[in-house]
Amino acid sequence: MASAAPALSQPRPVPRHRWAIGILAAAAAAVAACGCGATHGPATAARTIAPAGAGPVGGLTAGRRLYVAAGCGRCHALRDAGARGGSGPDFDTSERLDRAGILAGLVEGANGMPSYADRLPSARRELLADYLLAVAWRPHRRGR
């Protein structure tokens, strides 16, 4: 009786989670670069933060990605972004969020928060403000 030829082994498919590892690595690098409250030298001040795979600027998804990539959730809690924060104002409970305040805080920094003027271009700061104003807690949204 003739034996069957051994089957050629087929190439193993690339695991689907490989792309996620790249995104997580980029997010971890952004969080490490944030250093909320730390002083920043010229090398880090010149870096520009862009969300990994955000695509065109606009929309809640891009705002959420930017919030995560910039490391905002390391200090500021925001349920929509899955951020628990801890040392900065909690955006889920803050009643004092307004566009001018958000933009001023990003440019000037305050109370241990570094300035993001050199790391987030104006369009990205505007996107982040739009996102926060769309999803953060508001007195008229108590039931959400």
pLDDT digits over 73-119, tens only? 999 999 999 999 888 889 888 878 899 999 999 999 988 899 999 99
Mean pLDDT rounded to a whole number for the chain = 71
pLDDT tens for 51-62 read 444 444 457 899
Does residue 70 carry a pLDDT above 80? yes
What is the number of other CB atoms lying within 10 angstroms of the CB of residue 21? Answer: 10
What is the number of other CB atoms lying within 10 angstroms of the CB of residue 108? Answer: 12
What is the number of other CB atoms lying within 10 angstroms of the CB of residue 100? Answer: 8
pLDDT computed for residue 36 by the predictor: 45
Going by C-alpha positions, the residue among 53, 71, 70, 62 that lies closest to residue 127 is 62
Set out the domains of the chain in order of their start, with CATH numbers: 53-138 (1.10.760.10)
Q: For residue 138, what pLDDT band results from cuts at 50, 70 and 90? A: low
Q: Residue 122 phi/psi, 5° resolution?
A: -50, -45
pLDDT computed for residue 96 by the predictor: 80
Tell me the percentage of the chain whose pLDDT exceeds 70.
Answer: 55
Does residue 71 carry a pLDDT above 80? yes
Does residue 121 carry a pLDDT above 50? yes
- Both tokens of residue 64? 């959420």
Those residues with Cβ within 8 angstroms of residue 98's Cβ, 6 or more apart along the chain or in another chain: 133
Q: Residue 78 phi/psi, 5° resolution?
A: -160, 110
